[in-house]
Amino acid sequence: MPNTAMEATELLKEIQKHDSQQAFRSLYDMYYDRFFRIAFYYLQRDEWAQEVILDVFTTLWNHRKSQLIPDDFNKYSYILIRNAALNYLEKEQRREASPLENMPEISSSNLSPEEQMMNEELFNIYENSLNELPERCRTIFIKVREEKQSYASVAEELNISPKTVDAQLQKAVTRLKDKINNYFRFFSV
């Protein structure tokens, strides 16, 4: 087993046993470039590759307690990234096969007053949650998700690394998801 695979195994054990964010950061730093190359090979787009990597790392963190630690993390991670990239590619191809412009437009006049109110309320929650984010985190989220800028261009514009962009975006998405999920939990009770 190569040295990085042994290190990864030790880091995974540390993450699993102690919820070590430092060990997770080390694993992220150690594997980000490799994961990116694998994802980019299949997707041929920086933004998609970065999104796949973010999803994989988020999944690794969220399942850290129940995750089986593989004997060879290099092989395991290759398969993990490859499958995530292929699934993402399939999803994007389905989306392109049925473009949004061919779908009937949902106008607010087609919605019931209750649905209109919920849509407005949900948008307000999103907007308020976005405004509650730290300034840098909010700026990065808006540039990447709303303005559709690449990680590299945002990193260059803000004079930070693409990994910082990724980390800040991950923080923003997590916080926004939590706020919106809380909204839906309220209505499902």
Residue 144 has pLDDT above 50, yes or no: yes
**Most confident by average pLDDT, 17-21, 92-96, 101-105:** 17-21
Q: How confident is the model at residue 125 (pLDDT cuts 50, 70, 90)?
A: confident
Mean pLDDT, all residues of the chain: 81
Residue 113 has pLDDT above 70, yes or no: yes
* Nearest residue to 137 via CA among 174, 94, 99, 181: 174
pLDDT, tens digit, 9 for 90 and up, residues 16-37: 888 888 988 898 888 888 898 9
pLDDT, tens digit, 9 for 90 and up, residues 52-83: 998 888 888 888 888 788 888 888 888 889 89
**pLDDT for 163:** 87
- Determine which of 16-30, 73-87, 116-130, 146-160 has the lowest per-residue pLDDT on average: 116-130
User: Is the pTM of the predicted complex or chain greater than 0.75?
Assistant: no
- Tell me which H or E stretch contains 61: helix 46-62
Q: How confident is the model at residue 159 (pLDDT cuts 50, 70, 90)?
A: very high
Q: How confident is the model at residue 112 (pLDDT cuts 50, 70, 90)?
A: confident
* Nearest residue to 71 via CA among 24, 134, 122, 2: 2
**pLDDT for 40:** 87
**pLDDT for 109:** 56
Q: How far is CA 134 from CA 50, 131, 144, 171, in A?
A: 22, 8, 16, 10
